[in-house]
Amino acid sequence: MKKEEKIYIAGHRGMVGSAIMRRLQADGFTNFVTRVSAELDLRNQQAVAAFFEQEKPDYVFLAAAKVGGIVANNTYRAEFLYDNLQIQNNVIHSAHLNGVKKLMFLGSSCIYPKLAPQPLKEDALLTGLLEPTNEPYAIAKIAGIKMCDAYRMQYGCDFISVMPTNLYGYNDNYHPQNSHVLPALIRRFHEAKVNGTPEVAIWGSGSPLREFLFADDLADACVYLMQHFSDAGFVNIGSGKEITIKDLALLIKKIVGYEGELTFDATKPDGTPRKLMDVTKLAQMGWAYKTELEEGIKLAYHDFLVKHVER
């Protein structure tokens, strides 16, 4: 990518899109084209087609998606499938029609089969059944990977895909029902601390293992791969480290400064028992994460205080 070329970041206000923009700005890129969802509904085929014809971006980071945690995924199954298919179909197809030089599609680690061998290697895709609670989202993301590959094979488009692990960081979603586990715990422990709540109940047994990556590290990997990767398939992006939900909760409890009790509601679903990315492919290309989990959670909690509590 050259500094003067036009870059479109779909989802630039979200946690991932905003991190990618910060990373590019740090490298001296300034020619961005952005639209908020009120200005451009990416589910609208005609609107997306008109936008690409007008702006003609050189590079596209497709970070826009309908996302959420286990509750949101399981509750809004139709929207998670329809909205995400529409967004990626419209953007990828318009990128092809308008001669975009390179597009990066961002997926999710939930594309892997529920019981795939751990850590999750890229070639485990489509080797087994998906986790039922987030199957619609996973199917949409798998379709996005295959769409990029199909446009590469049929039309020679340089469209690549990356699969991030669980993310957290600046501009995260702290919605009480629809957020992912890490930001949800930050909010719950903070509110329990403020309200003097004697205990906080965590969904499930606390035993599932999860991997987390600070969103600014993901952005660094995305920019790196945009410059150094050009192939079919996709690349896992993660830390290669995992932690139990119980230990994650205890770490967030400590950082927030909540002094009440921690309980686990085993009647609630755990989701996938373990979900660790194999990041060998990325490591062999020369990239590694920088932000350790405790440091990243402190940064995220400060961001939560500034944007959701102190304003």
Q: Is 188 annotated in some ligand binding site? A: yes
Q: Is 106 annotated in some ligand binding site? A: yes
Q: What is residue 154's three-state secondary structure?
A: helix
Query: How many angstroms separate the CA atoms of 295 and 214, rounded?
Result: 9
Q: Is 2 annotated in some ligand binding site? A: no
Q: Which of 36, 6, 282, 18 is nearest to 165 (CA)?
A: 282
Instruction: Give the burial class of 146: count Cβ atoms within 10 A of its Cβ; 0-12 exposed, 13-18 middle, 19 or more buried.
Output: middle
Q: Which of 33, 89, 26 is nearest to 224 (CA)?
A: 26
Q: Is 238 annotated in some ligand binding site? A: no
Q: Is 107 annotated in some ligand binding site? A: yes
How many other CB atoms are found less than 10 A from the CB of residue 144? Answer: 27
Query: How many angstroms separate the CA atoms of 91 and 42, rounded?
Result: 7
Q: Is 205 annotated in some ligand binding site? A: no
- Per the annotation, the verdict on 137 as an active-site residue is yes
For residues 47 and 100, the answer to whether their CB atoms sit within 8 Å is no
Q: Which amino acid is at 245?
A: I
Q: Which amino acid is at 160?
A: I
For residues 14 and 35, the answer to whether their CB atoms sit within 8 Å is no
Tokens of 240: 């290669």
Q: Is 144 annotated in some ligand binding site? A: no
Number of helices (H) and strands (E) in the chain: give both, helices first: 10, 13
Q: Are strands 243-244 and 209-210 parallel, antiparallel or unpaired?
A: antiparallel
Q: Is 28 annotated in some ligand binding site? A: no
Q: Taking the alpha carbons of 39, 136, 188, 237 in that order, is the dihedral positive or negative?
A: negative
Q: Is 287 annotated in some ligand binding site? A: no
Q: Is 230 annotated in some ligand binding site? A: no
Secondary structure of 199-261 as H, E, C letters: EEEEECCCCCEECEEEHHHHHHHHHHHHHHCCCCCEEEECCCCCEEHHHHHHHHHHHHCCCCE
Q: Is 94 annotated in some ligand binding site? A: no
Q: Is 108 annotated in some ligand binding site? A: yes
Catalytic annotation, pick one of 8, 59, 112, 137: 137
Q: Is 203 annotated in some ligand binding site? A: yes
Residues with a known catalytic role: 137
- List, as residue ranges, the binding site: 11-17, 106-109, 141, 164-167, 180, 188, 203, 210, 270
- List, as residue ranges, the binding site for substrate: 188, 203, 210, 270
- List, as residue ranges, the binding site for NADP(+): 11-17, 106-109, 141, 164-167, 180
